[in-house]
């Protein structure tokens, strides 16, 4: 298949497999999503979903509540997510910044989100996509790996992968598609479960591929 045919097939097959794309991180509003995504760095969604009910239930789920908490108290709860000291400090500090600079609301602005402590480009894009419906294409390790296996990017870095995927896929598909690729990567095309020669989409796109494909890390 040529690249445009691969793109068409991927869109069609992922829509068949995942017509519904619930956000994997439990949340109730933009702020709780922001905190959940921040906690998910180097941590599984399952673990985050175990921690956030305790965090929000005991300490509160608003910027006002978390800004007033000692960092040590936040850290004691979020520690199982890894990077506890950094994440706890970021949660307390970004909550205060939201109060001081944004009226206690999560801004619907990518640049403003990226300025918040602990919030990188991917986290900001997840919030823009899932809380505000702004077309975004957050690239995680699954997406970065699969995009290489499907020869949609050369995999130099996640910035390049994001740029290439945005160029290839219709903007209207981005918010749903990034979750569909993540779901597929977790279920069928994981780092250990497929090397570019095993799963359905890989074998359909590249039936002649015989050797394992080495991918570049994000």
**pLDDT tens track for 15-29:** 999 999 999 999 999
CA end-to-end span of the chain: 26
Q: What is the pLDDT of residues 58-102, one digit of tens each?
A: 999 999 999 999 999 999 999 999 999 999 999 999 999 999 999
Q: In the predicted model, what is the mean pLDDT of residues 201-207?
A: 98
Structure confidence at residue 93 (pLDDT):
98
Rounded CA-CA distance 5/198 in Å is 20
Which pLDDT value is given to residue 155?
Answer: 84
What tokens were used for 147?
């995009």
The pLDDT assigned to 97 comes to: 98
Residue 122 annotated to the active site: yes
Residue 74 pLDDT: 98
- Give the length of the chain: 218
- For the chain, give the secondary structure using H, E and C: CCHHHHHHHHHHHHHHHCCCCCCCCCCCCHHHHHHHHHHCCCCCHHHHHHHHHHHHHHHCCCHHHHHCCCHHHHHHHHHHHCCHHHHHHHHHHHHHHHHHHCCCCCCCCHHHHHCCCCCCHHHHHHHHHHHHCCCCCCCCHHHHHHHHHCCCCCCCCHHHHHHHHHHHCCHHHHHHHHHHHHHHHHHCCCCCCCCCCCCHHHHHHCCCCCCCCCCCCC
Percent of the chain with pLDDT strictly greater than 70 = 100
Catalytic residue among 140, 151, 166, 195: 140
Question: pTM for this one?
Answer: 0.94
Cα-based torsion angle of the residue sequence 182, 130, 11, 137 in order, rounded to the nearest 10 degrees: -80
Is residue 186 scored above 80 in pLDDT?
yes
pLDDT at 218 over 90: no
Q: Which of 158, 143, 119, 153 is nearest to 37 (CA)?
A: 119
What are the C-alpha distances in Å from 31 to residues 69, 94, 127, 151, 195? 16, 10, 9, 36, 37
Catalytic annotation present for 140: yes
Of 61, 87, 122, 164, which residue is the catalytic one?
A: 122
């Amino acid at each position: 298949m040529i690249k445009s045919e691969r793109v068409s097939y991927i869109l069609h097959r992922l829509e068949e497999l995942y017509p519904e794309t619930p956000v994997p991180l439990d949340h109730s509003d933009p702020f709780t999503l922001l905190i959940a995504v921040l906690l998910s760095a180097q941590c599984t969604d399952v673990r985050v979903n175990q921690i956030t009910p305790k965090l929000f239930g005991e300490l509160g789920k608003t910027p006002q509540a978390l800004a007033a908490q000692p960092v040590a108290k936040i850290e004691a709860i979020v520690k199982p997510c890894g990077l506890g000291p950094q994440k706890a400090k970021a949660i307390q500090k970004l909550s205060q910044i939201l109060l001081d600079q944004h009226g206690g609301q999560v801004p619907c602005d990518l640049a403003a989100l990226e300025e918040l402590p602990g919030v990188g480009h991917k986290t900001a894009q997840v919030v823009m996509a899932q809380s505000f419906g702004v077309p975004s294409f957050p690239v995680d390790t699954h997406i970065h790996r699969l995009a290489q296996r499907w020869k949609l990017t050369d995999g130099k870095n996640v910035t390049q992968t994001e740029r290439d995927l945005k160029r290839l896929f219709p903007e209207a598909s981005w918010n749903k598609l990034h979750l569909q690729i993540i779901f597929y990567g977790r279920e069928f095309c994981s780092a250990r479960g497929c090397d570019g020669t095993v799963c359905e989409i890989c074998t359909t796109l590249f039936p002649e591929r015989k050797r394992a494909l080495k991918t570049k890390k994000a």
